């Protein structure tokens, strides 16, 4: 039996007073890689925001890692977010401190105290993303692709159940973008499920996953269309 980490049934997503998506049905199982595609403004980012509690659910049944997102109290959102890794397109790294200190800050903020354990975990995630020699550098000394690798390292620090990646290749050249998606697929194979929004449909053919399209205020499972492209 597959373990569902996210189950949405007939969910409505609203931004201010506007209905962005209606009747959303979505399931994410353990070990799964899911793409959200669709034009700008069709609700991909809004949908991700409901998963990490940035945007309230207007109606419907929305379960994320055992939390009911339509009734979740604010005080439980930090607990939920500790089990999620979030990768933004615009990095959101702290520019006034080194890569190592960016990662150290997150671990301490999420309750890590043992200095040796912190050091070992940071070395582990930097190795994972191929940046083990860049811990001393500051974000402005890194290329876009390197910064995105650090953002992914930050997202996996606490071994999240789910990684939410919002256009992680949006600001990167084609080759660097591919390397980032490959990295996310590798992380998925090692245990974290991934939901990634993207405009780049070529990635879906090279790195297959389940595909949902946001269109006309609805979410459609269009995996079959892309399976035909891949086969």
Q: Give the model's confidence band at 193: pLDDT under 50 very low, under 70 low, under 90 confident, else very high.
A: very high
Q: How far is CA 194 from CA 28, 84, 155, 156, 187, in A?
A: 9, 10, 11, 11, 9
Q: What is the pLDDT of residues 33-62, one digit of tens each?
A: 999 999 988 999 999 999 999 999 999 999
Q: What is the pLDDT of residue 49?
A: 94
Q: Which of 119, 144, 159 finishes a domain?
A: 159
* Domain of residue 204, residue span: 1-83+160-231
Q: Which of 108, 129, 159 finishes a domain?
A: 159
Q: Which of 159, 194, 214 finishes a domain?
A: 159
Q: What is the pLDDT of residue 43?
A: 92
Q: What is the pLDDT of residue 230?
A: 47
Q: What is the pLDDT of residues 136-177, one digit of tens each?
A: 999 999 999 999 999 999 999 999 999 999 999 988 888 999
């Amino acid at each position: 039996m597959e373990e569902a980490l996210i189950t949405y049934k007939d969910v409505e997503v609203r931004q201010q007073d506007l209905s962005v998506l209606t009747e959303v049905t979505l399931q994410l199982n353990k070990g799964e890689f899911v793409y959200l595609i669709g034009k700008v403004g069709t609700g991909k980012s809004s949908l991700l925001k409901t998963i990490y509690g940035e945007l309230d659910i207007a109606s419907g049944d929305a379960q994320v890692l055992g939390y009911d997102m339509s009734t979740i109290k604010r005080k439980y959102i930090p607990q939920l977010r500790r089990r999620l890794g979030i990768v933004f397109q615009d990095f959101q790294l702290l520019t006034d401190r080194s890569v190592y200190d960016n990662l150290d800050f997150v671990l301490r903020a999420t309750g890590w105290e043992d200095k040796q354990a912190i050091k070992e975990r940071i070395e582990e995630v930097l190795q994972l993303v191929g940046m083990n020699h860049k811990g001393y550098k500051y974000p402005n000394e890194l290329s876009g692709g390197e910064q995105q690798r650090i953002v992914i390292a930050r997202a996996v620090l606490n071994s999240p159940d789910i990684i939410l990646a919002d256009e992680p290749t949006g600001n990167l050249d084609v080759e660097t973008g591919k390397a980032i998606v490959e990295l996310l697929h590798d992380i998925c194979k090692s245990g974290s499920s991934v939901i990634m929004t993207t405009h780049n449909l070529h990635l879906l053919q090279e790195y297959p996953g389940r595909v949902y399209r946001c269109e006309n205020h609805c979410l459609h499972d269009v995996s079959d269309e892309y399976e035909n492209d891949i086969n």
